[in-house]
């Protein structure tokens, strides 16, 4: 595999720097592994030297198009996406199939409070899976095209058509940026209906001698015009699409209409603004501590008497604000038009939405982000201002906005700092034996399950269910295989791999959780394979809903939990996975947040022929009848897991409405006495696996 893939993990060895943006935005904090090419280029040269003419054209188009949604296809770490999200209130979606790059793009959004979605998939001419060939030289030239660049490794990635994605998600781009390393025509082939009906503006890379004829053939019948992007504005309209053999001007603008004078003026202004976005003299430095920032801002406010005037979004250089002898009186939450620097009732909806989002991220408030500065928003702003030790006016002035954002950044830094602790896992052997070993666990502070484990140990983490799972494995004659489906960070997988000589596979589609599961296994030499996919009733791709409350309730089921962010994940039937890998589970643990019946629907041949033991979550009121329907033809018995010495067989599957005993054992035959004896022993072993020592919160 290329060297950059082995180092492409967020963790030690990161570069961290500030990326200056054109006003009215200021700068973003960028964290990325050092080997990655685009972050290295941005740190050295800034946006001023990163395709500035193409970015200017893209931003001018962003101001011109009427639709709300922007797609960045072939996003790498998401430069075009982050610029669009930071400088507009558009819905932004970034598509990047390389896991290391998608992970960085996602981290930049989280670290800076940017509202864009990262879809870890490729777009092409047909929905399928395909080999992504990883360039040996740079992560910026990975491609679905075999032989495009020298490559000693590849990964299998999901591919979806743009038409299919738009139909599935309801997202239709008004502006489309495409840079997929010679497969741009395939992206457009998969977007025939979208291009014909919605006619988005397109900013596209054109590589000389590779894609020109196909692009012309696809776009000319739809009446598109093409302009080669260059420093000179207006851009020259071309009769033919011909790539630049010198690779100086390799991006093009494809328009459904001829741009007017306002577009060219806007592009020229953005060129001027981007020219000022050079790196600061000290590119890599620690973020300012919140108390220092507060003190500095208070001094500045006292000196100037009012917040600084926001510069023209494309003026290139900021003008000095007028000084005043004393600070003004605290603003009232009356119409915002009284002071252009204060956001309150009557302010533009886009600015109000930014305030509402900031209040939600910086406090425990849960405002509806609707762009209306009503009584609840006024109360939320007052709540934030009290936390910031500012006058509770209910109107968001510049000091409230800056300090609120600083509070969010401080919270994010704390959330992403690693927690490290020791976790005792049970031993095989005599009852009451000491733990077989102690695992070293490292995970970000914000993750829910590691926080529970650090506080209470494995003894307090579903001990009856973990004991049942291990007892079921111990009952198997000969070599056994455990599948942990919906693994989160992999607790059941860790317990199985540490406690016995069993083959273990963990399935977890959330990239950050899968990364922790993989890292803990590697750090502790556990024999666990982590599959970053979901299991379901059909093989393909699906929208995965990320819970706003906790990472332990992400789900393929829309509406199961409140969710404002999604990603697209590969889904495979369990029968297909077993056929493909020749791995067959002896014991199957399933916890997929209400889609457990779909996992079993995709495993009917496995249930009929291999008859694994199943430990499964059952939520009261969620699809109990579907579970019965999936299991009944195969003669399974069901038992509700509790702290009883022997579980009673149940006539029906009915979830506990109080969520106390929410896990069940589905057995292919009534458990023998040896199982209940093993269950008792594993419970005793788990009792010594209490709160860990040596932890760092």
Residue 317: which pLDDT band, with cuts at 50, 70 and 90?
very low
- Mean pLDDT, residues 469-493 taken together: 95
Q: Which of 274-278, 299-303, 395-399, 636-640 has the lowest average pLDDT? A: 299-303
Q: Which of 214-218, 288-292, 381-385, 532-536 has the lowest average pLDDT? A: 288-292
Helix, strand and coil in the chain, % to nearest 5: 40, 20, 40
- Domain co-membership, 385 together with 507: no
pLDDT at 105 over 90: yes
Ramachandran angles phi, psi of 131, nearest 5°: -85, 125
pLDDT at 326 over 80: no
Q: Which of 149-153, 194-198, 256-260 has the lowest average pLDDT? A: 149-153
pLDDT at 450 over 90: yes
Residue 2: which pLDDT band, with cuts at 50, 70 and 90?
low
pLDDT at 556 over 80: yes
Does residue 451 belong to any structural domain of this protein? Answer: no
Q: List, in order, residues 6 or more apart from 188 with CB less than 8 Å away.
A: 162, 178, 195, 215, 218, 219
- Domain co-membership, 676 together with 643: yes
Closest CA to 491 of 515, 527, 471, 461: 461
Domain count of the chain?
A: 3
Percentage of the chain surpassing pLDDT 70? 86
pLDDT at 324 over 70: no
User: Which pLDDT score is estimated for 112?
Assistant: 86
Residue 692: which pLDDT band, with cuts at 50, 70 and 90?
low
- 43-99: per-residue pLDDT in tens? 989 999 899 999 999 999 999 998 889 999 999 999 999 999 999 889 999 999 999
Distance between CA 535 and CA 590 in Å, rounded? Answer: 10
DSSP code of 458? Answer: G
Does residue 319 belong to any structural domain of this protein? Answer: no
- Domain co-membership, 269 together with 298: no
Distance between CA 334 and CA 649 in Å, rounded? Answer: 65
User: Which pLDDT score is estimated for 302?
Assistant: 40
pTM to 2 decimal places: 0.58
Distance between CA 431 and CA 434 in Å, rounded? Answer: 9
Q: How far is CA 691 from the centre of its chain?
A: 31
SS (H, E, C) 120-154: CCEECCCCEEEEEEEECCCHHHCECCCCCCCEEEE
Does residue 448 belong to any structural domain of this protein? Answer: no
- Domain co-membership, 393 together with 500: no
pLDDT at 180 over 60: yes
- Domain co-membership, 294 together with 271: no
pLDDT at 557 over 60: yes
User: Which pLDDT score is estimated for 175?
Assistant: 97
From the number of C-beta atoms within 10 Å of its C-beta (0-12, 13-18, 19+), residue 490 rates as: buried
User: Which pLDDT score is estimated for 271?
Assistant: 94
The CATH number of the domain holding residue 391 is: 1.10.101.10
- Cβ distance 475 to 674 under 8 Å? yes
Using the 3D structure, point to which of 380, 415, 450 is the last residue of a domain: 415
- Domain co-membership, 526 together with 406: no
Using the 3D structure, point to which of 361, 381, 415 is the last residue of a domain: 415
Residue 291: which pLDDT band, with cuts at 50, 70 and 90?
very low
Q: Is the peptide bond before 24 cis (omega within 30 degrees of 0)?
A: yes
Does residue 324 belong to any structural domain of this protein? Answer: no
Using the 3D structure, point to which of 415, 442, 473 is the last residue of a domain: 415
Does residue 328 belong to any structural domain of this protein? Answer: no
- 656-680: per-residue pLDDT in tens? 887 788 999 999 999 999 999 999 9
Q: Regarding predicted confidence, which is higher, 285 or 212?
A: 212
- Domain co-membership, 262 together with 303: no
- Domain co-membership, 648 together with 525: yes
Whole-Å CA distances, 552 to 110, 336, 486, 495: 18, 41, 9, 18
Does residue 440 belong to any structural domain of this protein? Answer: no
User: Which pLDDT score is estimated for 358?
Assistant: 86
- Domain co-membership, 298 together with 248: no
Residue 433: which pLDDT band, with cuts at 50, 70 and 90?
low
Distance between CA 314 and CA 262 in Å, rounded? Answer: 14
To 5 degrees, how large is the angle CA 370–CA 376–CA 380? 100
How do strand 663-667 and strand 534-535 relate by DSSP bridges?
A: unpaired
Does residue 640 belong to any structural domain of this protein? Answer: yes
Distance between CA 258 and CA 256 in Å, rounded? Answer: 7
User: Which pLDDT score is estimated for 14?
Assistant: 79
Residue 564: count of CB within 10 angstroms of its CB: 13
Q: What is the largest CA-CA distance in the chain?
A: 86
| Average model confidence (pLDDT) across the chain | 86
Structure token pair of residue 284: 């890599």
- Domain co-membership, 636 together with 668: yes
Domain residues for the domain of 373 are 290-307+334-415
Does residue 443 belong to any structural domain of this protein? Answer: no
- Domain co-membership, 339 together with 481: no
pLDDT at 612 over 50: yes
pLDDT at 10 over 50: no
- Domain co-membership, 259 together with 373: no
The CATH number of the domain holding residue 517 is: 3.40.50.150
Q: Which of 103-112, 194-203, 221-230, 527-536 has the lowest average pLDDT? A: 103-112
């Amino acid at each position: 595999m290329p060297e950059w893939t082995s180092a492409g993990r967020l963790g030690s060895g990161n570069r961290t720097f500030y990326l200056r943006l054109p006003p009215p935005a200021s700068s973003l904090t960028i964290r990325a592994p050092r080997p990655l090419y685009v972050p290295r280029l941005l740190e050295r040269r800034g946006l001023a030297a990163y395709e500035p003419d193409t970015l200017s054209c893209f931003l001018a188009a962003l101001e011109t198009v009427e639709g709300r949604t922007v797609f960045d296809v072939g996003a790498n770490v998401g430069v075009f996406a982050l610029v669009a999200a930071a400088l507009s209130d558009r819905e932004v979606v970034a598509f990047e199939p390389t896991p290391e790059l998608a992970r960085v793009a996602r981290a930049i959004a989280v670290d800076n409070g940017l509202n864009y979605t990262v879809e870890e998939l490729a777009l092409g001419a047909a929905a399928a899976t395909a080999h992504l060939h990883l360039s040996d030289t740079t992560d910026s030239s990975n491609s679905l095209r075999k032989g495009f660049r020298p490559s000693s490794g590849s990964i299998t990635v999901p591919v979806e058509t743009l038409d299919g994605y738009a139909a599935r998600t309801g997202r239709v781009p008004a502006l489309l940026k495409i840079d997929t390393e010679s497969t741009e025509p395939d992206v457009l082939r998969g977007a025939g209906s979208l291009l014909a009906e919605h006619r988005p503006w397109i900013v596209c890379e054109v590589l000389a001698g590779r894609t020109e004829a196909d692009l012309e053939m696809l776009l000319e019948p739809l009446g598109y015009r093409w302009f080669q992007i260059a420093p000179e504005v207006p851009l020259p309209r071309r009769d033919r699409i011909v790539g630049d053999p010198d690779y100086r001007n390799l991006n093009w603008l494809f328009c459904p209409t001829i741009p007017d004078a306002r577009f060219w003026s806007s592009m020229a202004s953005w060129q001027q603004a981007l020219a000022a976005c050079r790196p600061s003299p000290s590119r890599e430095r620690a973020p300012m501590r919140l108390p220092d920032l507060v003190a500095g801002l208070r001094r500045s406010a006292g000196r100037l008497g009012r917040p600084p005037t926001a510069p023209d979004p494309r003026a290139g250089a900021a003008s000095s604000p007028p000084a005043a002898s004393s600070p003004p009186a605290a603003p009232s939450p009356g119409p915002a038009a009284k002071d252009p620097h204060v956001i309150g009732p009557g302010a533009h909806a886009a600015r109000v939405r930014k305030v509402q989002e900031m209040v939600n991220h910086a406090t425990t408030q849960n405002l509806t982000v609707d762009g209306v500065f009503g009584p609840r928003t006024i109360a939320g702003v007052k709540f934030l201002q009290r936390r910031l030790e500012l006058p509770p006016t209910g109107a968001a002035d510049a000091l409230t906005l800056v300090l609120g954002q600083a509070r969010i950044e401080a919270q994010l830094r704390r959330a992403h700092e690693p927690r490290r602790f020791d976790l005792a896992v049970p031993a095989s052997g005599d009852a009451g034996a000491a733990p077989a070993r102690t695992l070293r666990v490292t995970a970000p502070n914000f993750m829910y399950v590691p926080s529970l484990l650090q506080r209470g140990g494995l003894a307090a983490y579903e001990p009856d269910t973990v004991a049942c799972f291990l007892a079921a494995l111990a009952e198997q004659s000969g070599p056994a295989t455990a599948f942990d489906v919906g693994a989160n960070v992999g607790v059941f997988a860790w317990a199985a791999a540490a406690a016995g000589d069993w083959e273990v596979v963990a399935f977890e589609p959330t990239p950050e959780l899968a990364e922790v599961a993989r890292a803990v296994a590697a750090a502790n030499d556990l024999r666990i394979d982590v599959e970053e996919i979901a299991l379901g009733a059909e093989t393909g791709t699906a929208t995965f809903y990320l819970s706003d409350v906790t990472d332990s309730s992400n789900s393929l089921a829309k509406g199961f939990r409140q969710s404002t962010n999604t990603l697209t994940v590969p889904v495979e039937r369990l029968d297909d996975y077993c056929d493909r890998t020749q791995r067959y589970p002896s014991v199957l643990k399933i916890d997929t947040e209400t889609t457990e019946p779909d996992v079993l629907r995709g495993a009917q041949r496995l249930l009929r022929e291999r008859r694994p033991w199943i430990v499964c979550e059952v939520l009261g009121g969620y699809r109990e009848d579907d579970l019965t329907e999936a299991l009944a033809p195969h003669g399974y018995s069901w038992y509700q897991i509790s702290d009883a010495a022997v579980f009673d067989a149940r006539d029906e599957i009915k979830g506990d409405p109080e969520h106390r005993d929410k896990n069940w054992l589905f057995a292919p035959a009534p458990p023998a006495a040896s199982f209940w004896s093993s269950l008792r022993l594993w419970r005793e072993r788990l009792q010594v696996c209490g709160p860990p020592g040596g932890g760092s919160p």
